[in-house]
Structure 1
């Protein structure tokens, strides 16, 4: 039931160790390379970097006890909301041991509760009462990395208990690699599934709260909410809608590769808890100290780009979810496989193997456009996301080839393009 892993990803243990160090380091680099004290241009002052890294006080400055306690309180709030707020229980896909994981659906309710509390704070005490996420950014960032490392270690140790179902890709026997990639498939505490909980709640909702805090910081600097720039409102609206859409459609998560295939290790933990809220909010943080006025024409153009991406993203995911649930309202064409399953070969899924990735990338580009082109750093997310999705596409291609065999080769002849129609 738990065969040993024979193939490595990320170039094996050395690559896993490198990513484990570089991913957190990159989040710090993005802050120190782009803040109100510099021009946010990709220039490196080597002497200053060496001086900082060799200074023990600088390392201690990355930790903020107040921020760590607030972050811990936020995580506890998410757990309590999961436990207390009502929600349906949904059965996940069939596991290879014949069992199923059950998931409580109330992420959107948690989101609304968090927004209600945040709105109450701002309404009663003014925007200056919610700028703390800007003021203690580094402290919150460090706290999230510590939480990710703690959870990855806890789940790795717990995976050695009797009866644990392991991830096929995380049972190599190398502790560094398995800790990073995730040894256990579905670690849980009671009925709380740790992996799906982290995917949707603490980091994703915090992303929106950070954006709101950045808008509050800009409002304080510019004399009130009424003076918040159109560019900041665009970023808030785009990313708010993206998060709200994902949380509202929570059941769609349970058929993704993260849930069905990957174990829960540092890779997913730091991605969910650190990377999502503190990297994806880079545009809002930049606009907090570098306000940009777009005007109606540029605003309309950026909105059009975002809506185009969302149309692709939601249309593709809608077709996929309907088809997986036995529905085919558009009478889409499909091919039968020897496994008895079907693969879509028309509609959005006839244009490329991953049209939802294309929509995601177009939206990501639209989120960066409100910062204009004074710095390339605010476009880091788009570049990173492109690399991530290309890597994920290759992982999916390999997994599907093993799953479908010759049928997958036939499928790729029918749907030739991987992400970008007629390009890639």
Structure 2
């Protein structure tokens, strides 16, 4: 049974509809709204001043937290007095200069990863997936070659061989953390500015404000491609999560070489990062159905975060464990059991909720067959899902996990992020940065998303909110 609300004063009615029975088309009313949403309306993130502060401040924060974690036992250090400010800044700079210089070795490692991942994306066979209609392209749909899964396992096999034959020891990743992080930051800035100028020169810019820094931050291009490779989707999976996973593996190798075993805490992080990376790869065909692909531009906000932010701020727990004796973060067996159960439960909810939403969108396009990649969890595809038909032409899902929360995937995603910090207990608060930062990003992102949906769907969005009452946690918020 499907609920339908016209959004133009029509009475609420119920009828039996199969979500895959007929591909949807955007109505004339919807096209007018989409045209409005594809124009620059207001500044976000505090405008030019706000984005400038973030572009300068976030790299500085990354250096500061790494220095505290690596050199000051995880303690947040600061000047003891006003007279100590200059010497304190001098000490900070000395750590960056000596231990995080973008040396030749770091350039080879990071550039090697980028080039290899791009090569795999170009040559590996993949699953062809049609994306959602893009308003700025006249509702044309783009095809995506989803070969991240083959690329992932090719990368794992390559890394294992390089490590085994002592060509590239995986322990070197964590040992050169600061140097590689600096190179990653340079890549983030260079690609962001480079893509902006290339896009403007080619005349393919969209939704521009006219302010250089703000437009570099938000991006100028929507669907940048090299051959069959969509760079935005490629960078979202192939760079950040591959680095995150191999940082965890590097930490495990480091422990094994030093102590002769891998702690349950490090094993937890290796499992957690693999689950996340594998989920992105096995469900890559779901990514073209997301807002990131058909609406969010490829600018500094996304580029820097994928090239540097995610890989070098999300696994501070691994950095701490690799530089401290296991006695600093040992737990009881029941605590380990609880941690693993929470992680796996949150993962299952995250995986299936993402699958439900993406495959529902595919069903509305008339797509009824889906990939069978490992692991496919029960409930990932909804049969005869309930939805609200909008006057815009789209359908809003109100079945499965999406009946209880407007963002069930965010709740599960954040829970996993908290576990990534909790795995070292109270040894240091720095690994909790991921979950604190992430919840801030998610709340802000939801605000942007809900505002856009309110404009796009009007009364239908109000009706949707009355059906799905809670933004995040059912019964709470």
- Structure 1 and Structure 2 fold alike (TM over 0.5): yes
Is 2:191–2:303's contact at 8 Å kept on the other side of the alignment? yes
Gap regions ≥5 residues in structure 1: none
Against the structure 1 CA distance between its residues 369 and 53, is the aligned structure 2 distance closer, same or farther, given a 3 Å change threshold? closer
The match for 1:374 is 427
The match for 2:25 is none
| Distance in 2 between residues matched to 1:162 and 1:38, nearest whole Å | 48
Gap regions ≥5 residues in structure 2: 1-34, 369-380
Q: Describe the SS at the equivalent of 1:41.
A: coil
Is 1:230–1:295's contact at 8 Å kept on the other side of the alignment? no
The reply on whether 1:83 has 2:117 as its aligned counterpart is no
Which protein has the larger Cα radius of gyration, Structure 1 or Structure 2?
2
The match for 1:28 is 63
Q: Describe the SS at the equivalent of 1:322.
A: helix
The match for 1:256 is 290
Cα deviations by residue, 1:329-373 (Å, 9 ceiling, x for unpaired): 454432221123221224311211101101111111222222111
| Distance in 2 between residues matched to 1:422 and 1:356, nearest whole Å | 16
Q: How does 1:22-421 map to 2 (within 5 A)?
A: 22-35=57-70, 37-45=71-79, 47=84, 48-52=87-91, 58=97, 62-96=101-135, 97-98=137-138, 99-125=140-166, 129-164=169-204, 166=206, 168=207, 171-222=208-259, 224=260, 227-290=261-324, 291=326, 292-326=329-363, 329-421=382-474
How many Å apart are 1:54 and its aligned residue?
A: 6.5
| Distance in 2 between residues matched to 1:77 and 1:332, nearest whole Å | 41
Cα deviations by residue, 1:221-253 (Å, 9 ceiling, x for unpaired): 21x3xx111111011111111111111100111
Q: Which has the higher contact order (CA 8 A, sep 6+)?
A: 2
| Distance in 2 between residues matched to 1:102 and 1:21, nearest whole Å | 36
The match for 1:7 is 42
| Distance in 1 between residues matched to 2:312 and 2:96, nearest whole Å | 23
How many Å apart are 1:163 and its aligned residue?
A: 4.9
- Which moved further from structure 2: 192-201 or 54-63? 54-63
Is 1:239–1:367's contact at 8 Å kept on the other side of the alignment? no
Q: Describe the SS at the equivalent of 1:421.
A: coil
How many Å apart are 1:311 and its aligned residue?
A: 2.5
Against the structure 1 CA distance between its residues 113 and 163, is the aligned structure 2 distance closer, same or farther, given a 3 Å change threshold? same
Q: Describe the SS at the equivalent of 2:53.
A: helix
How many Å apart are 1:102 and its aligned residue?
A: 2.6
| Distance in 1 between residues matched to 2:392 and 2:295, nearest whole Å | 18
Is 1:236–1:284's contact at 8 Å kept on the other side of the alignment? no
Is 2:389–2:396's contact at 8 Å kept on the other side of the alignment? yes
Equivalenced residues, count: 416
| Distance in 2 between residues matched to 1:54 and 1:330, nearest whole Å | 58
Q: Describe the SS at the equivalent of 2:465.
A: helix
Q: Describe the SS at the equivalent of 1:371.
A: coil
The match for 2:6 is none
Q: Describe the SS at the equivalent of 2:278.
A: helix
Is 1:82–1:106's contact at 8 Å kept on the other side of the alignment? yes
CA RMSD of aligned residues (A): 2.3
TM (norm. structure 2) is 0.82
| Distance in 1 between residues matched to 2:429 and 2:55, nearest whole Å | 25
Q: Describe the SS at the equivalent of 1:103.
A: strand
TM (norm. structure 1) is 0.92
Q: Describe the SS at the equivalent of 1:9.
A: coil
| Distance in 2 between residues matched to 1:107 and 1:56, nearest whole Å | 36
Is 1:334–1:344's contact at 8 Å kept on the other side of the alignment? yes
Is 1:309–1:363's contact at 8 Å kept on the other side of the alignment? yes
| Distance in 1 between residues matched to 2:419 and 2:176, nearest whole Å | 28
